[in-house]
A and B are shown apart, each in its own frame.
Chain A
Amino acid sequence: EADIYQTPRYLVIGTGKKITLECSQTMGHDKMYWYQQDPGMELHLIHYSYGVNSTEKGDLSSESTVSRIRTEHFPLTLESARPSHTSQYLCASSEESEQYFGPGTRLTVT
């Protein structure tokens, strides 16, 4: 079983609020990823990191930002949440090709 955690699991928040979605892993993986997935739709990569102080934007443009100050921690921040940000956000990490996913954060912006 993979040791990758996300908090909160569910978040309902009002428009304009700043939010940070937490992701941490205890496997010592250098590579970490954030995906966005709407119900019944495919996964879209929005950010990734290949190590400390390394972050890149993914294939889907996102208004969120990420940081990687520690190997085990890869938080995602939305400065001003909007209803269009309502989605599920999945964090993953990998050492080689296989990615291990966290349980996800289901975000609803009202």
Chain B
Amino acid sequence: RKEVEQDPGPFNVPEGATVAFNCTYSNSASQSFFWYRQDCRKEPKLLMSVYSSGNEDGRFTAQLNRASQYISLLIRDSKLSDSATYLCVVTSYNQGGKLIFGQGTELSVKP
């Protein structure tokens, strides 16, 4: 079983749709959580950190459920420019703080 698992994609949605990505992690000692975005043939870039209380950045909302070891990302009013692969990322003290990446979920927003 992979340490970080994401919804298999791709997600094909029309502009304006709301889309949710799910992610589970297996290491209960994980302490930091992130969503990264990777455009085709580009490097990953941090989209947002995920806090226990949940956090929002414009159209993006991230949630963390430590008890269920589950992270989510909600994108409202999706735009064509949201098309990318979204990577769920976790770090753990007992792994030296290394980032553990999920396999990514591809999103394609169509006009």
A residues with a Cβ closer than 8 A to B are: 31, 33, 39, 41-43, 45, 48, 50, 58, 88, 90, 97-104, 106
Contact among A39, A42, A102, A104 with B103 in the assembled complex (CB-CB below 8 Å): A42
B43 at interface by CB-CB < 8 Å: yes
10 more contacts with CB within 8 A, not counting A43-B44, A43-B87, A48-B98, are A42-B103, A50-B96, A90-B43, A97-B32, A98-B34, A98-B46, A101-B45, A103-B43, A104-B42, A104-B43
- How many residues on B have C-beta within 8 angstroms of the other chain's C-beta atoms? 19
Q: How far is the CB of B43 from chain A (nearest CB, A)?
A: 4
B residues with a Cβ closer than 8 A to A are: 32, 34, 41-46, 49, 87, 91, 96-99, 101-104
The 3 closest A-B pairs by CB, nearest first: A101-B43, A42-B103, A97-B32
Q: Are A42 and B42 in contact (CB under 8 A)?
A: no
Q: Are A103 and B49 in contact (CB under 8 A)?
A: no
Q: Are A42 and B104 in contact (CB under 8 A)?
A: yes
Q: Are B34 and A97 in contact (CB under 8 A)?
A: yes
| A97 and B99 in contact, given A90-B43, A103-B42, A104-B43 (Cβ under 8 angstroms) | yes
